[in-house]
Every structure is written in C-alpha cells, then in structure tokens.
C-alpha cells in the first residue's frame, strides 16, 4: 500500500507528518504499490486520485482545493478528519473522528517532545509558525525576529518542527497542523487566521471534533507578494502568472514597511488569551482513533 502525501515545490509540515507518523503507528504496513493508496493527514480527500486504485481513508479531510470525490467501492472509509468533511461526503457525522496529527507522540514508547520541554510551564520561547505559502512569499523570519518571537518554519524537517513546538511556552500559528501538534503536546496556542481564505474552512472541521471554538487573530501580510497572492488577482490564471514573474521584485518592494506592519501585528496577537482543547476532549478523540487503527491493522479493506 502506497502512503500518499501531498508534495509541492516546498515542504509543508502537515503533509510531511504522514511519513513520520504512520510508519510508527502502522509498522510494516506500506510499500510502493500504487494499486492501493493510504490517505491519512491532509486535505487530500478529493477527486485527484486514480479511479481504479483502492483509496484507504484514515483521517484525511476535504479542503476545497479539488472537486469532491465520487465515493464508490474503491473508497474504504475508516474515518475522516471531522464532521464537516463527513457531511460533504454524505457520511454520518460520527465518521469524523479527528485529525491523525493529534496522535503525535504515539506510541508512548517512541521518543517525542513533551510539555516538560517547556510547553505551558512559563519557560521556552514564544514561537510563530506561518503557513508554508506565507513562509515562501513573505518575510516572516524578519517580522518574527522584530517582534521577539522564534520562527518555526513549516518547511523544515518535521521531527525538528515538532521539537521546536514542544520547546515553546506559547505558539502562534497560521498553519493548522502547527496548532494541532501544539494542542496534542499541551502547548498553549493562539490561532492566526490564514491570509488566504481558501485555507480557513478546514480549521473548523478539526475544531468541531473537540467541541472547540477557535478565537482567531489576524496578521498583516509581511510582503507585497504575500498580500497580492491572497487577492482576487491570484484567482486568475493570468494574475498568477504575473505574480510568479514579478515575485522577486514584489518581495523587495516596500519591504521594510511590510515587515514593520507584520511585526506590529504579531506583537498585538501575542497578547491574546491562549487556547488549548479540553484534555477530556483530546483524550476522547485520540482513544477513538487508536481503537479504529486496531481495526485497520486487522482488516484494512473493511470500512467502518
């Protein structure tokens, strides 16, 4: 069975977690056979996949980036990311058990960061993780440094990113999986609303599994390129081509002003009240997913 993960020009922490998490949870489960595809972490439950292949869904969500899939016998649904994905696919809401990234740290015998590394204990830095697209287009390393925050780059090695989150006493994140991992490690977090509107709905899909209401804070773009990439111009093919061509210039134009505004916005956001899901809700989601994983091990082809 092929372990699927979305791959773009730059690494993205949430998608890269697949290669780190699943071999630990399901050892000796995967190979390179594309006839069976495993869909775990990410907004990849859509029509992009080969019709003839068996699609084993273990926690994936729908993100709106591609058309909805037409579910047929080639789809084996064990669980999906949340009740919003379930409703869109015509599945019972109970199929939305949660995002598998909440299982970071499992099995307990595996070394992993813990809140004892600094999370939630008043020690360690305050971290900021931008969305990987924002990291590519903006100047967030400069803005975070100007605001006195430590940048947690979602394009880095995923194990190093998890360790960096675990060292934080507080994490601000525009990346959903930065928040999910911080929550699993019990590191207090502040959610930053994604600059690009298309990335926002999936947050609620995850949050609803935990009965959690997310209190978003907004940031200013850290470069002109980043601002324009979230505008209507980027929705058009011609506009995207112009932005790609002019990207180096757009990153430099009025750079100091954009960095200053972004740093000021980070400074305001860090004063917000941090969040964590209720421990009982997190335990419930983790227990349900782990129970379902036992069924996956016993009979992968048998849907929930």
Q: What is the mean pLDDT of residues 232-258?
A: 75
Q: How far is the C-alpha of 206 from the C-alpha of 96, rounded, in Å?
A: 9
Q: How far is the C-alpha of 10 from the C-alpha of 19, rounded, in Å?
A: 15
Quick check: pTM over 0.95?
no
pLDDT of residue 122: 62
Structural domains in the chain, CATH included, are: 2-108+282-298 (no CATH), 115-278 (3.40.50)
Q: Please report which confidence band the pLDDT of residue 244 belongs to, taking 50, 70 and 90 as the band edges.
A: confident
The two tokens of residue 244 are 């790609």
The two tokens of residue 117 are 């590394």
Q: Please report which confidence band the pLDDT of residue 245 belongs to, taking 50, 70 and 90 as the band edges.
A: confident
CA pseudo-torsion sign 234, 40, 114, 159: negative
Report pLDDT digits (tens) over 101-118.
Answer: 999 987 665 544 444 444
Cα-based distances in Å from 47 to 21, 39, 42, 61, 85: 24, 12, 14, 12, 14
What mean pLDDT, rounded, does the chain reach?
91
Report pLDDT digits (tens) over 114-148.
Answer: 444 444 456 799 999 999 999 999 999 999 999 99
Q: How far is the C-alpha of 162 from the C-alpha of 157, rounded, in Å?
A: 9
Please compute, for residue 299, the number of CA atoms within 13 A of its CA located in the half-sphere on the CB side. Answer: 4
| Kind of pairing between the strands at 150-151 and 54-58 | unpaired
pLDDT of residue 225: 85
Q: How far is the C-alpha of 283 from the C-alpha of 66, rounded, in Å?
A: 32
Asked if 112 contacts 224 with a C-beta cutoff of 8 angstroms, the reply is no
Q: What is the mean pLDDT of residues 94-100?
A: 97
The two tokens of residue 132 are 């990987």
Identify which of 292, 66, 21, 7 has the alpha carbon closest to the alpha carbon of residue 180.
Answer: 21
Report pLDDT digits (tens) over 179-225.
Answer: 999 999 999 999 999 998 889 999 999 999 999 999 999 999 999 88
């Amino acid at each position: 069975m092929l372990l699927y993960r979305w791959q773009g020009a730059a690494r993205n922490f949430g998608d890269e977690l697949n290669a780190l998490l699943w071999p630990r949870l399901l050892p000796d489960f995967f190979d390179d056979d594309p006839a069976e595809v495993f869909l775990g972490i990410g907004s990849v439950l859509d029509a992009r996949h080969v019709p003839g292949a068996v699609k084993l869904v273990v926690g994936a969500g729908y993100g709106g980036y591609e058309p909805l899939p037409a579910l047929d016998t080639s789809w084996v649904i064990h669980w999906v990311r949340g009740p919003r994905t379930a409703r869109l696919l015509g599945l019972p809401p109970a199929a939305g058990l949660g995002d598998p990234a909440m299982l970071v740290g499992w099995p307990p015998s595996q070394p992993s960061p813990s809140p004892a590394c600094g999370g939630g204990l008043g020690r360690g830095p305050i971290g900021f993780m931008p969305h990987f697209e924002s990291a590519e287009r903006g100047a967030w390393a400069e803005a975070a440094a100007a605001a006195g925050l430590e940048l947690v780059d979602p394009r880095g090695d995923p194990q190093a990113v998890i360790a960096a989150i675990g060292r934080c006493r507080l994490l601000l994140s525009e990346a959903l999986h930065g928040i999910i991992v911080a929550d699993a490690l019990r590191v207090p977090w502040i959610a930053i609303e994604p600059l690009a509107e298309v990335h926002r709905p999936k947050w609620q899909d995850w949050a609803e599994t935990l009965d959690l209401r997310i209190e978003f804070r907004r940031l200013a773009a850290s470069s002109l390129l980043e601002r324009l990439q979230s505008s209507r111009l980027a929705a058009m093919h011609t506009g995207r081509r112009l932005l790609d061509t002019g990207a180096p210039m757009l990153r430099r134009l009025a750079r100091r002003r954009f960095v200053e505004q972004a740093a000021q916005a980070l400074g305001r956001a860090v004063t917000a009240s941090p969040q964590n899901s209720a421990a009982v809700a997190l335990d419930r989601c983790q227990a349900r997913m782990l129970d379902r994983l036992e069924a996956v091990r016993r009979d992968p082809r048998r849907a929930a």
